[in-house]
Amino acid sequence: MTHTQGAIFLDRDGVINENSAEHIKSWDEFTFIPGALDSLRDLAQTGLPIFIVTNQAAVNRGMMSHETLDDIHRRMIAIIEEAGGRITKVYYCPHDNHEGCECRKPGSGMLKQAAAEFGINLKESFMVGDAWTDVGAGFGVGARSILLLTGRGRWNFAPAWNRFGLNFAAACDIADATTMIRAALAGHPMESTARLRNAFHMALHPREALVL
């Protein structure tokens, strides 16, 4: 097995569901981002494993139990599957910053864990998120990172740029990222979409960097 396959790693909040500064602490607070379910169906059709990798420090801050978080994920996956999508496994980091764990993004611990469990080639993988920490988690293992402008994305572009320069791509939302991933899997260069270029009324660098 020298040519193990890549995977698609998705952050959760701000990618699949609307982000909340107060954290998503119960199913009542969980709202899918428009179009996310369609994109998850399209991503499933690539045949690649799809993992969610999400920081959920609210658990160790005592704001939410592991059981409640598992319940949120069970309900989320049921709806994703009903829409034709597929999630291979959800990984979450319950730790707070000060705990110094390896799973909290920008660490790549959750990606490495999936690689070990499922035999994933991380260099052939994609990491999609709305924060510089997501870009960092992908960057740390040589995956192609895509920063979305949904969720916290608009405010995370500059920090990501400062840390990673041209080593990440930008996309409007998960639908846009899906277009880019499918193009990359078809052997085309992973370029910014017309949607993103139109959104900013300017030509972007071929490697997706843009000036806000």
Residue 103: which of Zn ion, Mg ion, none does it interact with, CB under 5 to 8 A by kind? Zn ion
Q: Give the contacts of 78 (CB within 8 A, at least 6 positions apart).
A: none
Residue 93: which of Zn ion, Mg ion, none does it interact with, CB under 5 to 8 A by kind? Zn ion
- The residue sitting closest to Mg ion, measured at its beta carbon, is 14
Select from 9, 13, 161, 173 the one that contacts Mg ion (CB under 5 A): 13
* Cβ at position 95, least distance to Zn ion in Å: 3
Select from 77, 101, 209, 210 the one that contacts Zn ion (CB under 5 A): 101
- Using the contact rule CB under 5 A, the part of the chain among 13-21, 43-51, 108-116, 135-143 near Mg ion is 13-21
Residue 54 in tokens: 């999400």
Rounded CA separation 162/136 (Å): 11
Q: Considering the rule CB under 5 A, would residue 11 count as an interface residue with Mg ion?
A: yes
Q: Give the contacts of 39 (CB within 8 A, at least 6 positions apart).
A: 173, 174, 175, 177, 178
* Comparison of 154 and 205: residue with beta carbon closer to Mg ion: 154
Rounded CA separation 192/212 (Å): 15
Q: Is the peptide bond before 106 cis (omega within 30 degrees of 0)?
A: yes
Q: Considering the rule CB under 5 A, would residue 191 count as an interface residue with Mg ion?
A: no
* Cβ at position 105, least distance to Zn ion in Å: 9
Residue 14 in tokens: 């701000």
Q: Considering the rule CB under 5 A, would residue 173 count as an interface residue with Mg ion?
A: no
Q: Which of 54, 57, 48 is nearest to 16 (CA)?
A: 54
- Site size for Mg ion (CB under 5 A): 4
Q: What are phi and psi of 62, to 5 degrees?
A: 80, 15
Q: Which residues are catalytic?
A: 11, 13
